[in-house]
Amino acid sequence: MSINYCNEDVPAPRIQKRKMNSWIKETIISESKTLGDISFIFCSDDYLLEVNKQYLNHDYFTDIITFDYVENNVISGDIFISCDRVKENALGFKTGFENELSRIIIHGVLHLLGYKDKAKKDKLLMTQKEDFYLKNLSNS
């Protein structure tokens, strides 16, 4: 059971790892699941575009790609996050980089927990869950 943070072709973003790890674990436990091994890989747009092309046959930029290795309610996976997209989203949504990064991190965790975001109602529920868990982070 571990949470790992790696970076590929960008500097590692500043993360309060102890606080972030506790928040992620609490989120998983509150959803009645168990933490397995989760790796966050921070990268550039170009790096994530190559992952998107190679593994998903998608030729477009995205902020996050989640590879789900969940088995028997044990939450495990690799979560690739484009720091370029996070910066751009933060500007677009008029929020700070740290806040947007936290939202993207928990978005990936929610995917591992089984939440989807393709259909309109699923996307709404995902955003509600993100908002709920972001409040928990700011209160911790």
* pLDDT of the residue at 140: 65
**Other C-beta atoms lying within 10 Å of the C-beta of residue 139:** 6
* pLDDT of the residue at 29: 96
pLDDT tens-place string over residues 9-57: 999 999 999 999 999 999 999 999 999 999 999 999 999 999 999 999 9
Mean pLDDT confidence for 76-94: 96
Structural domains of the chain in order of their starting residue, each with its CATH number: 2-139 (3.40.390.30)
* pLDDT of the residue at 1: 85
